[in-house]
Structure 1
Amino acid sequence: MIKVFRLGYVHFQTQNMERMLEYYTDVLGLTVTQQDSQTAYVSTSIDHHNIILEQSSESGVVGFGLQLVPEMSVAEAASELERMGLNGNVKTDPMPGVSELVEFKDIDGYTVQLFGEMELAAEGFKKTGVAPNKVGHLSLRVQDAKKSVEFYKQFGFTNTDWIEDFFGFMTCNRDHHVLNFATSDRKEMHHMALELRDYSHLIQSMDTLGRNGIRILWGPSRHGAGHNIATYHRDPDGNMIELFTDADIYVPELDMFEPRPWHENYPQKPRVWETEECMTRWGTAFEQSLV
């Protein structure tokens, strides 16, 4: 089985590189580590990149990169993909910061790249803008969330929670979720989430958005699945971006989450949530619907 341990980067195409770069650098406080006429590589802290922006005639998510566990090589991952009946394309020096990867399309046509190592090129966190800890998770609209959940189990992911039967959460480490999948009639990103340090950082970040004229769509409030305190807005291309903190920590050896005072159950284990009880545990009403 292929085993990954983190979401390395998310790849977007954009019709307006200038506006997107201004958002990711000036508003979010990320660092451009490398750029040419078509592509910009952006980092949250020390990785060469965690966001790829590619100039295009269309906007939206292209795919994402997952980092393999150190004991698995790209060649071994390629062999496993072949055994699984997937067409993996091994690439050497495919992008700055990554010397080798294997690329394939998942069951919904998203481009997935499995890589072993990434150069450390950025100097750390900026002192301006939001300056999040990391890209926390990626949420995708898919034809059938149940099928996507089963598909990604082949890469070492564990299903942690469900919203009814249409929204599945998955992790490959101790975060509550790294990927999640929403059954939909269209293929596109649902949202990308950036992890913040604490609630005061979340409030400071919302002030930053306000100063830049960026409207809050939803939140802040505490979700059910994951129990993260979250708020949502849109980037210049209309992609939905979540800023969150205080998410559940999964203990795979016990198939439970580290106890927190706001949990509904002790122990808190993976479960199926009703939509309304999952959206906000504070009972806050918002005009914008997320699902």
Structure 2
Amino acid sequence: MTAARSALAGLRHVGLGVPDLAKATAFYEGIWGLYRVAEDTGVVFLGSVGSPEPYIIRLRQAESQRVDVISFAAKSATAVDALCESLGRAGVRIVREPGVQDSPGGGYGMRFFDVDGRLVEVSADVRPKPFRALELGESVPRKLSHVVLNSTDVHATVEWYRTHLAFRLSDWLSDRMAFLRCSEEHHCLAIAQRTKVSLNHVSFEMRGLDEYLRGTGRLVRHGHKPLWGPGRHSAGDNTFSYFADPHGNVVEYTTELERIVDEDAWQPRIWPATPEWYDQWGTAGGLEDLFALDSVTQQDSGLWVPAPI
């Protein structure tokens, strides 16, 4: 049997509400390596020189920290309409019916809440911005790689995304984190079991190993100690270096994410949650800093509340 194919093509951008827009913008536009594509009152759109996506991070001045929106690309406008119809039949709460978007790149999209109350956007026909291939040694993000979300019921959340958005299961880390894909890339979305519904991390893909390590070093030289890394995961086989942005959101530099080219032959694996599988290289050190930040992370204040823009 042919494996189920999603109407989605990948991850577009993540929108974050932040209490201090200037401080967050300085981080992402400065040492993290993005650039300002557009801005309006209280909102900044940041893109990558290596990506045709109009922007990959949106920052909005907000009273409290929250995830505003997680945006995925649909394969066509027809797919957006079909998705809206199927979600509506399933009782999913539609926040914005399909229509023309007024954000950078425009396009045709819709918004809805997932099972945990996060705002999800799906869009098509977005105008690409100019981009170029990154040069050797250029240690800035090439594109958005993936986003990981925390759930209080990982199995229910995973089932929701598989049922309603046709994500495919790539792997499990024990029974506490599932890796989901909608293209050849091992995952653009992962769901982790936690005690609060919140953002786990946002990951940015670098040009290659050298550029990934150069970027990691730049953050260190600017006084940002890695929460965990550098190292190499088992699930996805990708490298990792995790840092905290000025508001405690965890962001990751990564590269060399596994690709699944034979969709129908792929069998999801279950990786042990042990140190040698957390980090194949054994270079990342302990998880104390990452766990410490996670333990004080509050539940997302934006659940079931549409972002104002």
> Is TM-score (shorter-chain normalized) higher than 0.5?
yes
Q: TM-score, normalised by structure 2?
A: 0.83
**Residue 61 (structure 1) aligned to one of 64, 67, 72:** 67
Instruction: Please list every run of 5 or more consecutive structure 2 residues that lacks an aligned counterpart in the other structure.
Output: 292-309
SS of the aligned residue for 1:21 comes to helix
Query: What are the residue-to-residue correspondences of 1:174-213 with 2, within 5 Å?
Result: 174-213=184-223
- Residue 263 of structure 1 is matched in structure 2 by none
Paired amino acid for 2:42? Q
In structure 1, distance between residues paired with 2:140 and 2:184: 22
Mean CA deviation greater in 196-205 or 245-254? 245-254
Question: What is the root-mean-square deviation of aligned Cα atoms in Å?
Answer: 2.2
Show structure 1 runs of 4+ deviating over 6 A: 125-129
In structure 1, distance between residues paired with 2:130 and 2:83: 28
Q: What do the CA deviations read for 1:224-245 (whole angstroms, capped 9, x no partner)?
A: 1111111111111111111111
User: Identity rate of aligned residues, in percent?
Assistant: 26
Conserved 8 A contact 1:42-1:52: yes
Distance 1:148 1:125, change over 3 A: same
Paired amino acid for 1:214? H
Q: Does 1:22 align with 2:22?
A: no
Q: Does 1:85 align with 2:91?
A: yes
Instruction: Please list every run of 5 or more consecutive structure 1 residues that lacks an aligned counterpart in the other structure.
Output: 257-268
Q: TM-score, normalised by structure 1?
A: 0.88
In structure 1, distance between residues paired with 2:133 and 2:283: 33
- Residue 239 of structure 1 is matched in structure 2 by 249
Conserved 8 A contact 2:6-2:182: no
SS of the aligned residue for 2:282 comes to coil
Query: What are the residue-to-residue correspondences of 1:1-291 with 2, within 5 Å?
Result: 3-44=7-48, 45-70=51-76, 72-88=78-94, 89-90=96-97, 91-124=99-132, 130-153=139-162, 154-256=164-266, 269-276=267-274, 277-284=276-283, 286-289=285-288, 290=290
Count of matched residue pairs = 279
Distance 1:181 1:27, change over 3 A: same
SS of the aligned residue for 2:23 comes to helix
CA shift at 1:210, angstroms? 2.1
Distance 1:2 1:204, change over 3 A: closer
SS of the aligned residue for 1:80 comes to helix
- Residue 294 of structure 2 is matched in structure 1 by none
SS of the aligned residue for 1:236 comes to coil
SS of the aligned residue for 1:97 comes to coil
Paired amino acid for 2:125? E
